[in-house]
A and B are shown apart, each in its own frame.
Chain A
């Protein structure tokens, strides 16, 4: 058990007088240096994100007081200034990577502004797809997951705006997860987020198959689920991704049972509902027990 979990357990049992001090003593709660590093990162990340979002909101307002020339000048100057900052400071610093992220946001603002000003008749999915494609080289340059995650989010939004088939979401997120697992498995945040998106997409595929037999997704789901469980149990232990796959399985099995039970006998409505509740409870309790068992190994 980690020192943090141990102290919290003792505190809940009423043994620790001052939890904050105990956490500090065990070096679990942050000291001055850790606070400084955290606040610096928080202010940089939040400041960059809010400033970028504020500028995008500003151009979305379509303020007529500003002529088109001034609007383009503002966005382009900000874009170039962010690039210049990252170039001069070198990509190793957190401020430079934040500047590159800001530049990526401004690229989207520029495309939106072009669409707003010239009304070219382009579809929204093209804006998001082009935006995602253009920031890929910067993501390579930054060598951190934040710009890759932005690329993945924009690609998903482009698919949603198209609107694409469910299988496209599953393939896109699965490919992103596989690439992360292959090239940068050390930082678990990005592959976990991509893995959660993959689980969501494959769950949607399973539901589509269950409620619309014409959809040919059962094979894809039945390949993905055991593969995920085997890979993250045996080869690269990641309980979060196992939990995501198990949750997906619970949803799929519940929907399958609900469909079968309610179609077979609509008269036993109360009994069928109770039976499904018991199935969900049993599956989730077994999943939690297995996850706890894996955590102890």
Chain B
């Protein structure tokens, strides 16, 4: 018997015989390569769809059919057919979005599409497609809410914490999709159509709440108090709080890809926070300096051995 399975049986974490061994899934960079390529192929397939079904109603039907065909192909054991299914399904979603009239009524169509995307994400076991549908759904909702898009930070942050901490039986791909969306929402807010969000502090507050919950999950009451202190300072800089949240969950749940995403998100946010129009450079510098000093002081206070 597999020694790891035996160890889990003794700890009463599993019951019975181990399931037959299955090959390990691809590494994250293979998923990244497949995702990027599927996205490029989907762009060309979308051109085919739009050129073939020229009217909105027909395009909506064609998009739905492509999406369904793609979902069927995703079940195939052949890597070529799986990848074709991924590209066809993403192209079908784009066709459906255009067919529903995204150019006539952007907000309504984006909101409807965000709701529709939940269905295909539940109908597949492909991790890339699950992550894609989750991330795209949250980002479409953020685009639909326009100035109120920072509120979707709550949805993304809640989904990441729910998948990794509250219900870890749920496939992690949903959590990865939500984490990517969490990072992207802020970019959307600053570089999107509305650089002046209605609730500039909402994003930071909501990301901070998720950070406090995560700290409580891993370290108890004391951790949540420190996290609350850091979150309060970071309210004007929601991207830093989101990056810290992703970093903590990634490390605590043994998800190194998420840890890497957290580091990349933090650095990317810092470089574009400079150009954010919601606050003056003086305010931004004070927020960053206060957070930096608080973190260094906390380290000094909490880990005296490390300073020796």
Q: Which residues of A contact B (CB under 8 A)?
A: 1-23, 25-26, 28-30, 35-36, 38-40, 42-44, 46-58, 60-61, 63, 94-95, 239-240, 243-244, 246-247, 250-251, 254, 269-270, 273-274, 276-278, 280-289, 291-292, 295-296
Q: Are B37 and A284 in contact (CB under 8 A)?
A: yes
Interface of B is mostly: helix
- Which B residue sits closest to A36, measured CB to CB? B303
Give complex CA distance A200, B288 in Å: 31
Q: Are B33 and A288 in contact (CB under 8 A)?
A: yes
Does any Cβ of A come within 8 Å of B119's Cβ? no
User: Nearest-CB distance from A206 to chain B (Å)?
Assistant: 15
**B229 adjacent to chain A (CB < 8 Å):** no
Q: Quick check: is B225 within 8 A (CB to CB) of the other chain?
A: no
B191 within 8 A of A: no
Of A5, A244, A269, A276, chain B has the most CB atoms within 10 Å of the CB of: A276
The verdict on A6 contacting B4 (CB below 8 Å), with A40-B306, A43-B299, A273-B48 known, is: yes
Tell me the complex Cα distance, A34–B4, Å.
21
A-B pairs with beta carbons under 8 Å apart, 23 shown = A5-B24, A9-B22, A17-B13, A18-B13, A22-B8, A23-B253, A29-B254, A35-B251, A46-B244, A48-B296, A49-B270, A49-B292, A54-B290, A61-B282, A95-B306, A243-B29, A269-B47, A273-B47, A273-B48, A277-B44, A278-B84, A288-B83, A291-B26
A240 touches B29 (CB 8 A): yes
Give me the 6 closest cross-chain CB pairs, A-B, nearest first.
A51-B292, A54-B288, A284-B37, A54-B289, A47-B295, A50-B292
Taken together as a complex, chains A and B put the C-alpha atoms of A254 and B30 apart, in Å, by 18
Q: Nearest chain-A residue to B21 (Cβ)?
A: A1
Partner of B252, one of A4, A22, A25, A29: A29
| CA distance in complex: A297, B176 (Å) | 28
Once the chains are docked, how many angstroms separate the CA of A48 from the CA of B289?
A: 9
Interface contact B4-A7, CB-CB below 8 Å = yes
Q: How far is the CA of A51 from the CA of B298 in the complex (A)?
A: 14
Query: Smallest Cβ distance from A254 to chain B, in angstroms?
Result: 7
Least Cβ distance of B17 to chain A in Å? 10
Q: Are A94 and B306 neighbours in the complex by a CB distance under 8 Å? A: yes
Which residue in chain A gives the minimum CB-CB distance to B47? A273
Q: Which residues of B contact A (CB under 8 A)?
A: 2, 4-5, 7-8, 11, 13-14, 18-19, 21-27, 29-30, 32-34, 36-38, 40-42, 44-45, 47-48, 51-52, 79-80, 82-84, 87, 91, 168-169, 171-172, 218-219, 240, 244, 247, 251-254, 266, 270, 274, 280-282, 284-296, 298-299, 302-303, 306-307
Using Cβ atoms and an 8 Å threshold, which residues of chain A touch B285? 54-58, 60-61
Given contacts A16-B13, A50-B289, A63-B282, contact A285 B79 (CB under 8 A): yes
Q: Closest CB-CB distance, A9 to chain B, in whole Å?
A: 6
B41 touches A46 (CB 8 A): no
Would B295 and A46 count as touching, CB distance under 8 A? yes
Least Cβ distance of B156 to chain A in Å?
21
Most buried by A among B29, B32, B240: B29
Neighbouring A residues of B30 by C-beta, 8 Å: 239, 243, 288, 291-292
CA distance A29 to B84 in the complex (A): 36
Once the chains are docked, how many angstroms separate the CA of A63 from the CA of B286? 13
Looking at the assembled complex, report how far the CB atom of B227 sits from the nearest CB atom of chain A, in whole angstroms. 11
Q: Find chain B residues with CB under 8 A from A22 CB.
A: 8, 11, 13-14
Are the C-beta atoms of B29 and A239 separated by less than 8 Å?
yes
B298 contact set on A, CB distance < 8 A: 43
How far, in angstroms, from A18 to B12 measured CA to CA in the complex? 10
Q: A13-B19, A274-B44, A291-B30 are in contact. Are A25 and B80 (CB under 8 A)?
A: no
Partner of A274, one of B33, B45, B79, B295: B45
B142 → chain A closest CB, angstroms: 26
Q: Are A57 and B288 in contact (CB under 8 A)?
A: yes
Q: Contact: B254 with A4, CB < 8 Å?
A: yes
Cβ of B21: which chain A residues have Cβ within 8 Å of it? Answer: 1
Taking a contact as CB atoms under 8 Å apart, the answer to whether A14 and B169 are in contact is yes
Sample of 8 further A-B pairs with CB below 8 A, known A58-B286, A270-B47, A280-B37: A21-B11, A22-B8, A46-B266, A50-B288, A51-B296, A58-B285, A60-B285, A284-B83
